[in-house]
Amino acid sequence: MKRIILGVLIGMLASTVWQTVTHSQSPTPPQTAPAAMSRFGPGTPPQIAFDIPKTDIDTLLKNAPPAVDQQLRVVDMGKYNLAVGIIHRGPTKDEPGTPAAGPYHDYTAEVYIIQSGGGILTTGGTGEKKPGANYNILNGPGGNQTAGPGSVSRRVGPGDIIIIPPGVLHAFSQITDHVTYLSVRPDPDRVLPGGYVNPLLVKNQMPAVK
C-alpha cells in the first residue's frame, strides 16, 4: 500500500513540474496597453458604436506623411481590442529578381481591404526572419522577413480582401502607381493601446440623421 501511495505522489509531482515548465516556456505577450478592461465594466463590450467617417480618412490621407501606415483608432471591446488603420503606398522600385521583404506581427492578425490601386502582395513562407521590431500603436511587437520557400504572391486590387494571421510575412511589390487599403486588426492579447484615436481625425462620430 505504501508503494502505491508513494507512486501516486511521485506521479502528481512530476505532472505539476511538467505543467510549470511548459507554461514558463510559452511566449507571453508584452502588456503595452493598460491591463484594465472596458470602461463599461470588466470584460463588458461597449454599449455604443464607433464611427470613422470617410471625411476623416480623407483628411488623414491628405495630411499624413506619404507611404506611412496610420492607425485610425483602437477600440476597447471589453475582452479584446479592435483596431482599424489606413495605409497608402506609392510606387515601388523593385530590382529584378529581388525577393520581396516586409513585416510580420507576433500577436496581431490583419484583414486588408483594398480601396484603390494595386500591386503584388507576397505572404507567408519560411524565409529568414529578423525579430525585434516594435510597431508601437500599429501592430505591437514583430519583425521583418524575406520571402522564401512556401511564400505566395498574387496581384491585388480594389475590392480584394486578404486575411493575414499573426507571424505571417506580408510584403507589397510591383506597385506601379499606388495602393490604398484599410487594415482591420483584432488584438486579443491587448498589445495595442485601447482607446487610441489618431490625432489627425477631425471628428469621431457620424452626424445623426434628423
> In terms of Cα–Cα distance, which of 113, 53, 42, 30 is closest to 76?
42
Characterize the bridge pairing of strands 152-156 and 141-146.
unpaired
* Tally of structural domains, the chain: 1
141 pLDDT higher than 80? yes
Q: Is residue 17 part of a domain?
A: no
Q: Is residue 78 part of a domain?
A: yes
Q: Is residue 170 part of a domain?
A: yes
Q: Do 50 and 204 meet the contact criterion of CB atoms below 8 Å apart?
A: yes
Q: Is residue 53 part of a domain?
A: no
pLDDT tier, 112 (very low <50, low <70, confident <90, very high otherwise) = very high
Q: Is residue 129 part of a domain?
A: yes
pLDDT tier, 5 (very low <50, low <70, confident <90, very high otherwise) = very low
pLDDT tier, 155 (very low <50, low <70, confident <90, very high otherwise) = very high
Q: Output the domain CATH number for residue 102.
A: 2.60.120.10
pLDDT tens-place string over residues 22-60: 333 334 555 544 433 445 555 788 999 999 999 889 988
Q: Is residue 121 part of a domain?
A: yes
Q: Is residue 43 part of a domain?
A: no
Q: Which residues of 43-66 are buried (b: 16+ CB within 10 A; e: fewer)?
A: eeeeeeeeebeeebbebbbeebee
Domain range for 102 is 65-187
Determine the pLDDT at residue 180.
Answer: 95
Q: Is residue 210 part of a domain?
A: no
Whole-number mean pLDDT of the chain? Answer: 81
117 alpha carbon, distance to own chain's centre: 22
Calculate mean pLDDT across residues 86-100.
88
